[in-house]
Amino acid sequence: MAGIRYDSDALPMTDERDLGYTPATDLARLVRTKAVSPVEITRALLGRIDRVDAQLNAFCTVTHDLALAAARVAEESVMRGAAGPLCGVPFSVKDLSWTAGVRTMSGSFIFEERVPDVDAPVVRRLKAAGGIMLGKTTTPEFGWKGLGDSPLTGITRNPWNAGMTTGGSSAGAGAASAAGLGPLHQGSDGAGSIRIPAAFCGVYGLKPSFGRVPYWPTPNNDNTSHIGPLTRTVADAALMLSVMAGPDDWDRTTLEAPPADYVGRLGAGVRGLRVAWSPTLGGLRVDPDVAAVAAGAARAFEEIGCVVEEVEPAWPDTAALIRGLWSAHEAGTLAGYLPAWRDRMDPELVACIEDGLRHTVADYVQQRARKLEFWDAVRAFFETYDLLLTPSLSVAAFPVGRLNPEGWPQHAWDWIGWASFSYPFNFTGQPAATVPAGLTRAGLPVGLQIVGRRFADLTVLQASAAFEAARPWASRRPPID
């Protein structure tokens, strides 16, 4: 087909399930070589979303017409020899990120009709690279919790078992990635919101270093929120991050340095690195089934040439700190909506806001100081170790409709106990990924967390790729079809 303008209407439709599970790296190559049309890919993926997503509720908005229009532009770019790195490759956007001309509801009735007139920087960059936005994925209200339900958009369900949660707050991104509803899904992570759904849904999720990807305009949770990819392969995450990363004046906290060559250097390996394996991160409770799967996955790092040592860091306890900062942030950004909207908001979020209103300014300033002091303990640890491995979460996915699993402490709003492996690395801003580690006896995914030194995003990607090669997971698909 080289040199011939293809007629996308005349091309036979490739099986939508196969295209749904085809990695972005392969789709980009197929588009560049004119083996498949961006329009063909987009039609197939939109058809798959229409057919499958009724079971999951991963998308709150599907942009059929805009996606097809963008696919036609991408097709013309290919014919002109001007294809960008994501030309013709579908992606989704979490419904916290602004999208020009497309509703950005943040999972809340308060913004049900909000239609921004600009794209957030990350969306702008994905489009400029030739990517095709399929739509917006679900999030709990304002992304406030690590679960997958919203008073506006309802419950998002796990492709491995529809009775179970996806986790959150990048709930739809996790479900869509696992179910083959496109290869690239943008998430954000303020206390685990990329890594939680990635672990529960059995996909790859990367929280890059703080500032690696511009974050705008949502209030950034005391500078702990990060934007990153959820994908089925590490190479896809490297490709997506290479497009999203880099300084941007819209976010003054972005890093000055341009991103490393994540794609070109992905396969360099991690032989000889010193790796700490921490089964409980100093005493966190872990379900025995999850602990066994994660421990087995950690052993793979010896197979790929790392020096692995079991360690339990004696870091300061930050459980009270995260609860205080979390509720204070929700109160500071959302309390003004309570008089008019309380009855239509997530009641657990309302409880969190009300708890945060009890904090004084002095409390908040002291909590921020303790967060910064926490870095000193973690910094010293990473002077010895290149990487830290932990279970991604204390539990596997549990039934929808619950804030905490059965048998765990119940609370009016606090869900953080079972996700306490995640938030410390939002405090420190280090890169942290979740790789699929295996399945529980009940057939639910378990994740292994890989944490790197400050700014060592490339090392985390290389470690993830080496693990993926040793323990492949991409062919493992949920029973959604």
Domain locations in the chain?
16-470
Look at the pTM and tell me if it is higher than 0.85.
Answer: yes
Which stretches within 80-114 are classed as H helix? none
What distance in Å separates the CA atoms of residue 371 and residue 8, rounded to the nearest whole number? Answer: 54
What distance in Å separates the CA atoms of residue 179 and residue 479, rounded to the nearest whole number? Answer: 9
The residue annotated as part of the active site, out of 37, 106, 169, 392, is: 169
What residues in the chain have per-residue pLDDT under 70? 1-14, 218-220
Secondary-structure percent of the chain, ordered helix, strand, coil, rounded to 5: 40, 15, 45
Q: Which residues contact 272 (CB under 8 A, 6 or more apart)?
A: 305, 306, 307
Radius of gyration (C-alpha) of the chain in whole angstroms: 21
- Domain 16-470: state its class: alpha beta
Contact 122, 213 (CB under 8 A): yes
The residue annotated as part of the active site, out of 170, 193, 209, 420, is: 193
What distance in Å separates the CA atoms of residue 61 and residue 64, rounded to the nearest whole number? Answer: 9
The CA-based angle 371-213-464, given to 5 degrees, is 85
**Which residues in 242-260 are b (16+ Cβ under 10 Å) and which e?**
bbbbbbbeebeebbeeebb
Q: Is 145 a catalytic residue?
A: no
* Helix (H/G/I), strand (E/B), else coil: 140: coil
Helix axes 24-32, 64-79, angle to 10 degrees: 50
Q: Is 94 a catalytic residue?
A: yes
The pLDDT of residue 16: 79
Query: Phi, psi at residue 412, to the nearest 5°?
Result: -65, -30
Q: Is residue 434 within a helix (H) or strand (E), and if so which, with residue range? A: strand 432-439
Q: Which amino acid is at 423?
A: Y
The residue annotated as part of the active site, out of 8, 92, 94, 97, is: 94
Contact 166, 397 (CB under 8 A): yes
What distance in Å separates the CA atoms of residue 404 and residue 97, rounded to the nearest whole number? Answer: 27
Contact 378, 428 (CB under 8 A): yes
Distances (CA, A) of 329 to 94, 293, 295, 333, 405: 20, 35, 35, 6, 25
Q: How many beta carbons lie within 10 A of that of residue 339, not counting itself? A: 7
CA-closest candidate to residue 113, choices 102, 122, 124, 123: 102
Q: Is 169 a catalytic residue?
A: yes
The pLDDT of residue 8: 44
Contact 466, 357 (CB under 8 A): no
Q: Which amino acid is at 443?
A: G
